[in-house]
Structure 1
């Protein structure tokens, strides 16, 4: 039978071998992360360069239209119509109206909510129930 000291020594040897086997993987993982960072930086730079060409492209496309070309002819030749610039339509930027949280609100009209003080006052008055129409 092995002593506890021998078992611990063997366990440490096994762990050292496992760590040594992982070291190359850790190194490649670090290199890959570095390359991903470089790709992101280059992509951002190239997108900026492309954005800087939007104005001249828009002008050149407009010049071709003024020179007698139609947008369809230009796109058939491989030119893309320039992206729209300026402010988007107001309807896209307008915040949506706050919708009511009352059940029953909708095309037929707003639902009525009973306020406790009103309920007490109404209890003492005669109530008239609306007629129900069957379809």
Structure 2
């Protein structure tokens, strides 16, 4: 279920940095959540410089890397875990992109398991079936 989307200004970072972000953030996300890595979906979304503003100035006018990320999790995760996720993902962005920590923004979005689909089935049902299968072993 874990979904991660990092928004960046096109042209401010290298394709290698994008690849490293996807790899390191996916791994960190799985570790913080205690989730299997194969469930994590991570995306880098690039925005044209004229379509991104920081402090009301577009990146076309003043190139400035101010990354924004969204981490989607199923509702019910403890506040401490969500805070750790925000801190860890921010650390990765700072380390990989060499950006100023104070410019990084992020949020955790909690989704009710009844409103999240996995293969067309609500996550609440998938979760229930996984728990039942483990109990039957």
Query: TM class by shorter-chain length?
Result: under 0.3
Higher strand fraction: Structure 1 or Structure 2? Answer: 2
Q: Which has the higher contact order (CA 8 A, sep 6+)?
A: 2
TM-score normalised per structure 2: 0.19
